[in-house]
Amino acid sequence: MVVVTGQNKVSGNPDDAMSSSDAEDDFQEPATPTATQAGQALPLLPQQFPEVVPLNVGGTYFTTRLSTLRRYEDTMLAAMFSGRHYIPTDAEGRYFIDRDGTYFGDILNFLRSGDLPPRERVRSVYKEAQYYSIGPLLDHLEDIQPLKGEKVRQAFLGLMPYYKDHLERIIEIAKLRAMQRKARFAKLKVCVFKEEMPITPYECPHFNSLRFERSESETKLFEHHCEVDVSFGPWEAVADVYDLLHCIVTDLSDRGITVDHQCIGVCDKHLINHYYCKRPIYEFKITWW
């Protein structure tokens, strides 16, 4: 009698055969990570927060209520402390926000009671409000000085689409000249003119009529480029040349550039008949150190 077993016949060298334990190892599912390993990989969500929240904002400590941080739903702080995101803690258990905390107290004061910062801190707090996406605070700050005045100023500068490009050109020219001459400062000529048409003493009383009555061919006779490094204008607004000069100096100063300027005359280019350019020319002195 032949007895047939349920085992498969193994051929070849017995040493080459795979043991049952090896086969099980090959098909073994990945081990489930332990609680310690899971904690090191990803924190468990949702995160629970206490009613009184200790904060460490860039090394500055604060304490506030959880409801204060969630005052406005569409803000970054409300999202951070909603429980949907993990926030690390420092060695003392304070929730850490990797941001300069200098003006975070002003942010909390607004969330608590709607208080606004003093004027000298408005610009800095505005930047923090942008970072934390606090829309109501942004609206309030934009409606007070100095930001309200800045909105009016930007509306005026919007009349000159190449204003920022011209500022960059001033900086680049001044830097190049200072480096070439190995000097502390550099000088350049800047033309700032409000009106496009030329003005002479005896043309002024009839300027408006002359301006609109000239044909296109006649107007081209007055087109030219003053011999300066940078030219601003023309524009149509109540703000005059001195207002634009103030904007130029202010924006250069905000970038840490020391600038002095003075009027050195007008463009005397002869155009046609008794017409001359007469655009004012200013000398800008940029000091680098």
- Statement to judge: residues 175 and 84 lie in one domain: no
pLDDT score for 237: 87
Task: Give mean pLDDT, residues 11-34.
Answer: 46
Structure confidence by residue, pLDDT tens digits, 97-134: 999 999 999 999 999 999 999 999 999 999 999 999 99
Cα torsion at 15, 19, 21, 22 (round to 10°)?
70
Pairing of strands 185-192, 230-232: parallel
- Cis omega (within 30 of 0) for bond into 136: no
Least confident of 37-51, 65-79, 166-180, 212-226: 212-226
- pLDDT the model gives residue 132: 97
Q: Is residue 208 part of a domain?
A: no
Q: Rounded mean pLDDT of the chain?
A: 82
Of 176, 165, 193, which is closest to residue 286 (Cα–Cα)? 176
Residue 260 lies in a domain: yes
Are residues 139 and 175 located together in one domain of the fold? no
Total structural domains in the chain? 2
Q: Which domain holds residue 71?
A: 52-144
Q: Does residue 247 sit within a domain?
A: yes
Q: Is residue 131 part of a domain?
A: yes
Please check whether residue 15 lies inside any domain of the structure.
Answer: no
Residues 123, 66 within the same domain: yes
- Return the pLDDT at 42: 52
Q: Looking at the structure, tell me whether residues 166 and 78 fall in a common domain.
A: no
Alpha carbon distance 125, 102 (integer Å): 9
pLDDT the model gives residue 269: 81
Amino acid (1-letter code) at residue 142 = E
Task: Note the pLDDT tens digit of each residue in 243-252.
Answer: 999 999 999 9
Q: Do 230 and 133 share a structural domain?
A: no
* Inside any domain, residue 13: no
| Same-domain status, 71 and 166 | no
| 167 and 114 within one domain | no
Are 256 and 186 contained in the same domain? Answer: yes
pLDDT (0 to 100) of residue 194: 87
Q: How far apart are the C-alpha atoms of 261 and 194, rounded to whole Å?
A: 18
Residues 130 and 167 in one domain: no
| 171 in the same domain as 85 | no
Q: What digits encode the pLDDT tens for the residues 158-190?
A: 998 899 999 999 999 999 999 999 999 999 999
Which residues, other chains included, contact 10 with Cβ-Cβ below 8 Å and sequence gap of 6+?
A: 17
Last-in-domain residue among 119, 144, 169 = 144
Given a cut of 90, is residue 6 above it in pLDDT? no
220-242 pLDDT tens trace = 555 677 899 999 988 888 899 99
pLDDT grade for 196, boundaries at 50, 70 and 90: low
Q: CATH number for the domain including 115?
A: 3.30.710.10
Reported as a single tens digit per residue, the pLDDT across 81-97 is: 999 989 999 999 999 99
- 183 shares its domain with 283: yes
166 and 262 within one domain: yes
Tokens of 166: 């011209």
In a domain, 38, yes or no: no
Residue 6 within any structural domain of the chain: no
